[in-house]
């Protein structure tokens, strides 16, 4: 989701091959040992198989909306916040979503995840977005995970007092750019045509 948002914002064109993870094509396994999505294969054969690295690649080609900030000044604070999201919060999100596969209860992981939610809420009380009054890489990289967290128990999330976070999330969910990247494509088959995506 976040890789597609950055590619779309940058206006760079890629060939999109939709993959069903239960039926991974051999071509995916050949280019990435991780065999997770997204994977970006560059024309020179280099492979980028982390969504945040794909985001950076796209925005370094073209950043018309200034998500990296002037002279990249938002890159370092974005990186710090994204690290916290991708390491601590993501682990708690997985525990919350799939509590039956983890040693603690869903409530335990939700409470652990709330530490990060509280930090985001505090930031959003100071600015419209996580780092300033402009959208940054941090907003785009983090919001899909907050969306997942909110959907585990929507009623709880809406009543939990994260009013600024709710507004921030709703803004992204209602945005045209988000609706465009959520279009469902047929799974790619070996020998088939990819989809031009930008």
With residue 197 as reference, give the H or E element that holds it: strand 195-197
Angle between helices 163-173 and 137-152 (to 10 degrees): 100
pTM of the model: 0.92
Residue with token string 């040992």:
33
pLDDT score of 73: 84
- Clarify whether residues 78 and 139 are in a common domain: yes
Do both 168 and 111 map to the same domain? Answer: yes
Low-confidence ranges of the chain (pLDDT < 70): none
- Same-domain pairing of 23 and 114: no
Nearest Cα neighbor of 172 from 153, 197, 146, 133 is 146
The span from the CA of 96 to the CA of 188, in Å, is 31
pLDDT of residue 154: 97
Q: For residue 191, what pLDDT is reported?
A: 86
β-pair partners for 72: none
Domain count, the chain: 2
CB atoms within 10 A of CB 168: 23
pLDDT of residue 33: 84
CATH of the domain at 104: 1.20.1050.10
* CATH number reported for the structural domain that contains residue 27 in this entry: 3.40.30.10
Query: Is 47 found in the same domain as 89?
Result: no
CA atoms within 13 A on the CB side of 44: 2
Residues 187 and 169 in one domain: no
Q: Are residues 92 and 106 in the same domain?
A: yes
Q: What is the pLDDT of residue 83?
A: 97
The total number of residues written for the chain in this structure = 198
- At residue 159, the pLDDT reads 97
């Amino acid at each position: 989701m976040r890789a597609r948002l950055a590619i779309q914002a940058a206006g760079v064109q890629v060939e999109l091959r939709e993959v069903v993870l239960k039926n991974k094509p051999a071509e995916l396994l050949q280019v990435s040992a991780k065999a997770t999505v997204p994977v970006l294969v560059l024309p020179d054969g280099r492979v980028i198989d982390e969504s945040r690295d794909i985001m950076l690649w796209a925005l370094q080609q073209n950043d018309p909306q200034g998500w990296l900030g002037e002279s990249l000044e938002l890159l370092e604070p974005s990186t710090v916040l994204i690290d916290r999201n991708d390491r601590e919060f993501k682990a708690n999100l997985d525990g919350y979503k799939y509590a039956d596969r983890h040693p603690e209860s869903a409530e335990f992981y939700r409470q652990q995840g709330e530490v990060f939610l509280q930090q985001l809420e505090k930031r959003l009380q100071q600015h419209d977005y996580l780092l300033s009054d402009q959208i940054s890489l941090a907003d785009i990289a983090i919001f899909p995970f907050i969306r997942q967290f909110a959907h585990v128990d929507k009623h709880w999330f809406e009543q939990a007092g994260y009013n600024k976070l709710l507004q921030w999330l709703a803004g992204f969910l209602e945005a045209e750019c988000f609706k465009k990247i959520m279009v469902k494509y047929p799974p790619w088959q070996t020998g088939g045509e990819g989809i031009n995506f930008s």
